[in-house]
């Protein structure tokens, strides 16, 4: 179990920042080659699943510190007479919060 886990993580590292479409296209290509080789195509699903990263890029402490910083800056720039979209700096902070949240979830989920 230990060696297979190390091997999968090592092979998976170059694909960590790819979009889901990358995995779909790779899976279809892998399925085609496995089908043509004569091996049962169900094997493709197992191999493709091993390539999909499931570990988040960031840990909880990093996430909490970054989000607290964004929220504090958001409060400082608050203008009760403007919406978030009208207040360009707050809108930028809202987008930054979204980026931080994406880094704290599994890459395949976004």
For residues 85 and 81, give the distance between their C-alpha atoms in angstroms, rounded to a whole number.
12
Q: Residue 85: phi, psi to the nearest 5?
A: -70, -35
Tokens for 99? 């980026």
Q: Is 53:15 a contact under the CB 8 Å cutoff?
A: yes
Q: Which residues of the chain have pLDDT under 50?
A: 1, 4
Per-residue confidence (pLDDT) for residue 70, from 0 to 100: 93
- The pTM of the full predicted model, rounded to 2 decimals, is 0.52
Q: What is the pLDDT of residues 78-102, one digit of tens each?
A: 888 888 888 889 999 999 999 988 8
Rg of the chain (C-alpha set): 20
Per-residue confidence (pLDDT) for residue 3, from 0 to 100: 54
On the CB side of 11, CA atoms within 13 Å amount to 12
């Amino acid at each position: 179990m230990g060696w297979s886990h190390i091997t999968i993580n090592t092979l998976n590292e170059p694909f960590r920042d790819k979009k889901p479409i990358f995995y779909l296209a790779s899976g279809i290509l892998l399925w085609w080659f496995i089908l043509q080789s004569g091996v049962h195509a169900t094997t493709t699903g197992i191999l493709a699943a091993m390539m999909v990263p499931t570990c988040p890029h960031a840990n909880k402490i990093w996430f909490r510190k970054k989000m607290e910083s964004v929220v504090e800056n958001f409060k400082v720039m608050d203008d009760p007479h403007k919406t978030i979209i009208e207040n360009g700096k707050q809108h930028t902070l809202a987008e930054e919060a979204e980026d931080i949240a994406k880094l704290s979830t599994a890459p395949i989920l976004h």
